[in-house]
Amino acid sequence: MVVIGPGSLYTSILPNLMIHDLGQAVIDTKAEKVYICNIMTQLGETEGFSDAEHIKVLHDHLKAKFIDTVLVNTEKVPDEYLNQQADEEYLLQVRHDFKGLREENCRVISADFLDMKNGGVYHDGKKVVSELINLISNIKTIC
C-alpha cells in the first residue's frame, strides 16, 4: 500500500510526485494507492477546493488516474475553528464531491477522522490507521 497525505498539496505532496522516477513508480505499482485528503483548505493553495479537486490536481499533473482510494473526513469542523483570522493558513473545511471522486475512479472511505486539539484541526491518527488496516485486510481478501 502507498499512502499519500495528508499535507500541503502544492508544496509538499505534488513536488515529490513530480520527480519523474518517483511519480512513475507510484503510478506503476500494483499496490493500493491511498490518498488521505486534508480536512481544511490551505490559504493561497487550495482555497475552496473539494476533495475531488485535490485528486484531480494529482491526476492531471501526473497524467494518470492513479489514486485508488481516498479517505475523507465527514465530521463537520466546529464554526469557531473556521475563518478565525484573515492571516490563518487553514480557514475552510474541504468540501465533499463524491460524484467528482467517482469520476476520478476513486473508492471513497468517508468517516469521522476529526481530532480537535490545541486549538487546531487534525486527523485522528488512530482512526486513520484503523481504516488503513481495514483496507489492507479487504484487499488481501479480494486478492
For 127, the domain range is 2-142
* Residue 85 identity: Q
What mean pLDDT do residues 132-140 have?
A: 88
SS3 of 48-103: CCEHHHHHHHHHHHHCCCCCCEEEEECCCCCHHHCCCCCCCCCCCECECCHHHHHH
Question: Model-level pTM?
Answer: 0.91
- Taking the C-alpha atoms of residue 48 and residue 15, their distance in angstroms, rounded to an integer, is 21
pLDDT interval class at 88 (50, 70, 90) = low
Task: Give residue 30's pLDDT.
Answer: 96
- Taking the C-alpha atoms of residue 43 and residue 2, their distance in angstroms, rounded to an integer, is 27
Domains: count for the chain: 1
Which CATH number do you get for residue 71?
Answer: 3.40.50.10680
Answer for the pair 35, 67: CB distance below 8 angstroms, yes or no. Answer: yes
- Paired with 111 in beta bridges are 73
What mean pLDDT do residues 99-122 have?
A: 93
Q: Dump pLDDT digits (tens) for 24-83.
A: 999 999 999 999 999 999 888 999 899 999 999 999 999 999 999 999 999 999 888 776
